Amino acid sequence: MASKAQMRAARDAIGNWGHINKFRLRAILEHAGEVVLDVGCSTGEYVQWLNKHTDKIVYGIDILDHSQWFDLPEHFANGSITELPFASNSFDTLTIFEVLEHIPDVQQAIAELYRVTRKRIIVSVPNCEYPPEFREAGLSFYHEVDPTHCQRFTSVSLPEVLNGGGFQTVQVTLINPIRPELLLLTSWHFPSFIIRMAGRIVNRFPIRQKYYMTLLAVADK
């Protein structure tokens, strides 16, 4: 597993690490129970937003602490996903966003998630399925060069890992679409306002092939 220093450096290098993602937030609102633990909560933004704007009671845990935790200190704790400091069946739902790819002993992590949740987990991981056109174009997602990643997941292997730990996968969906047309237009040195306008138009084409960076799974205990 990556050291704390490596994890902190990776977090700092990605400006949106820990920020609220609309697709993940929608999954929480649709699938999470009343008492939630965000495992690998990073900045704790989901914890704070959900406690403020919903009736859910939400806690967070991460191997690294963060200054934003001080806004709601009683809802945060330090700890590892492979040794969660909570009693069995403590939470209705666990959310685990962009965490499992960092864990060498992923089965131990799944066992801990199974132990601590009462009902359900919501997991997101980088999508490691690449279409042939990506290889031909020499493209890959950023997570392929992240030195803290030691696991790779696909829409087939992710439910296999979850089911192998005792869960029953309810659904696996693709989230976080990418915009390759923006890269193309930028390489042609179009002005930024034209790139944004053309990107919005292209994104509406019904025949447009869409690509996604992230897998999101919902699984029941």
Which tens digit of pLDDT belongs to each residue from 2-51? 454 544 444 454 444 457 899 999 999 999 999 999 999 999 999 999 99
Interatomic CA distance for residues 174 and 211, integer angstroms: 9
Q: Is residue 41 part of a domain?
A: yes
| 138 domain residue, yes or no | yes
The per-residue pLDDT for 46 is 95
The pLDDT tens digits for 55-91 are 999 999 999 888 889 888 999 999 999 999 999 999 9
Q: What is the CATH number of the domain that holds 114?
A: 3.40.50.150
Backbone angles phi, psi at 118, to 5 degrees: -90, -35
**122 SS3 class:** strand
Contact assessment for residue 134 and residue 32, using Cβ atoms and an 8 Å cutoff: no
Q: How far apart (Å, rounded) are the C-alpha atoms in residues 42 and 97? A: 10
The domain tally of the chain equals: 1
How do residues 109-166 score in pLDDT, each as one tens digit?
Answer: 999 999 999 999 999 999 998 878 877 777 777 777 777 889 999 999 999 999 999 9
**pLDDT score, position 191:** 85
Q: pLDDT value at position 6?
A: 43
pTM confidence score: 0.82
Classify residue 134: in a domain, yes or no: yes
For the segment 47-62, what is each residue's pLDDT rounded down to a tens digit? 999 999 999 999 999 9
> Domain of 172?
4-178+211-220
